Amino acid sequence: MFDESPRCNTQPAAARSIQPTSGGIRREWKASFIGEELSCKQASLLPNEVPKLTCRRRSRDATPTPLEHKMTEVPTVLAVQSISGMRGGAQSKLMLCNDNNLWVVKFQNNPQHPRVLVNELIATRIAESIGLTVPTTAIIDVSNCLIDSSPLLYVDHGAAGGRQPCSSGYQFGSKYVGGLMPRQVVDLLPEDCLRRLRNLQEFVGMLAFDKWTCNRDARQAVYQRSSKERDYKAVFIDQGLCFGTPEWKFVDTPLQGIYTHKAVYEGVKGWSNFEPWLANIVNFDPQLLWRIATSVPTHWYGGKQADIERLVDTLLERRGRVRELISQLRESDARPFPMWRVKSRTRGKSQIVAKRLKPLKQETRRLPAATVVVSQIHSSDGNRTNINDDVSPWTHSVTMHVSILIPQPLNQWMVLHF
């Protein structure tokens, strides 16, 4: 459906509208492509523009004239050189672009799924919007000439697909942490250095974000500092497995999305530690989320507008479930928050049980107590033995027969209540 140069694609404009329903929401979608009426030769002379999907939303009580929201622009840069390959299942590449910056590029034909690019762009920009430290994102234009002249630009699909050249056109890019001076960036830190991070509290906010977006991968981060700084700062990377599976099916488990070292969660003592990120998630602007979603190139998800619409609606519905998902993690056997203690344990069902036990305790005080009678004690081999120094000098075997005498009133009360 798409050729090797996306800028030359002149796809017909498609429109989709949803009429007013009982939910009170109707949406109009219009696919618009920059330069769609121009020829390929003319389009190649234009600046790099990415085909985007324009979303218009109306409220049932709104005026008939639709309010068109301004699209949030994503910068587009041109890749000029391939540097090296990166670790990870998506087999991303480190590339130098025409803005003199290094970018980590994920390609559409990566071994995981093409929608990994959609997940990266939407999730990273959402995390940035709620105040978390994430890399800068952009759309990277990779030409056919660069792929043909770079032997490192390939993806390995294993025995099923073999080795294939990386796809050309528009790919996802995140700015390489550390830039051209990466010596102050590390992937791992010991626990004592983790406790001194300058933004240690953001791990809690990132946990709330991962619960919201159903990140199926463990939380990943790199650590950066300048030559004048002593402590590191965490930068959260790799949002490719957010939104559940590549089919965008949200399946929640308590332990997904947490960081490997529990030391980053040691200071959590209550819900106040999740602020302000939890409040930013619950009150996230729906219009901003729609603008972020519409900034994604349509060919990254095959132009399936219903899927991207369902994804946005699911994220909006899940905003109110973040506390529930965090509570499931807190109550799991992993115990990630050792300092989080519940102040009152007599709430809910325990209050009812306490009310029922109070009159029973008062009644048992008036009943006679049970007595324990030791009827027989039999001992054998109670002599000192001198076998070895390592063995206990006493070998003592005791058989004790104990009888419990329960008065008749107490016995009847126990049968009645138990």
Residue the block writes with tokens 């930068």? 235
- Inside any domain, residue 338: no
Note whether residue 403 is domain-resident: no
State in Å, rounded, how far the first CA of the chain is from the last one. 73
- For the stretch 84-143, pLDDT in tens is 999 999 999 999 999 999 999 999 999 999 999 999 999 999 999 999 999 999 999 999
pLDDT band at 162 (very low <50, low <70, confident <90, very high): confident
The answer, yes or no, to whether residue 83 has pLDDT greater than 70, is: yes
Q: Which residue has the higher pLDDT, 417 or 314?
A: 314
Per DSSP, the residues of 24-63 read SEEEEEEEE-TTTTS-HHHHTTS-----EEEEEEEETTS-
Q: Is 113 domain-assigned?
A: yes
DSSP readout, 278-331? Answer: HHHHHT--HHHHHHHHHTS-GGGTTT-HHHHHHHHHHHHHGGGGHHHHHHHHHT
Of 245 and 74, more confident: 74
295: left (phi over 0), alpha (psi -120 to 50) or beta: alpha
For 186-212, how does the pLDDT look when each residue is reduced to its tens digit (9 = 90+)?
Answer: 999 999 999 999 999 999 999 999 999
Please calculate the CA angle 171-173-174 and round it to the nearest 5 degrees: 165
Q: How large is the average pLDDT for residues 320-342?
A: 92
pLDDT-based confidence at residue 228 (cuts at 50, 70, 90): confident
Report the mean per-residue pLDDT for the chain: 77
Q: Rounded mean pLDDT of 255-277?
A: 94
Q: Contact, 51 vs 9, CB < 8 A?
A: yes
Give percent of the chain with pLDDT exceeding 90. 57
Number of domains comprising the chain? 1
Sequence letter at residue 276: P
Helix extents (H) in 131-201:
144-149, 158-161, 191-194
Burial class (CB in 10 A: 0-12, 13-18, 19+), 138: buried
Any domain includes 382? no
> What mean pLDDT comes out for the span 395-417?
59
**Domain of 17?**
6-330
* CB contact burial 284-293 (16+ within 10 A = b; e otherwise): beeeebbbbb
Closest CA to 74 of 49, 96, 100: 49
Task: Note whether residue 373 is domain-resident.
Answer: no
Tell me: pLDDT of 345 over 80: no
Residue 412, CA distances (Å) to 198, 357, 416 in order: 66, 18, 6
d(CA 415, CA 418): 5
Q: What percent of the chain has pLDDT over 70?
A: 65
Confidence of residue 418 (pLDDT cuts 50, 70, 90): low
**Tokens 């996802």 identify what position?**
172
Res 184: pLDDT: 85
Q: What is the mean pLDDT of residues 276-295?
A: 96
* pLDDT bucket at 358, cuts 50 / 70 / 90: low
pLDDT tens digits for range 24-73? 333 343 333 333 333 333 333 334 444 445 444 433 333 333 333 333 67
Closest-CA residue to 154 (of 164, 162, 168): 164
Average pLDDT over residues 368-396: 44
Least confident of 116-120, 169-173, 226-230, 252-256: 226-230
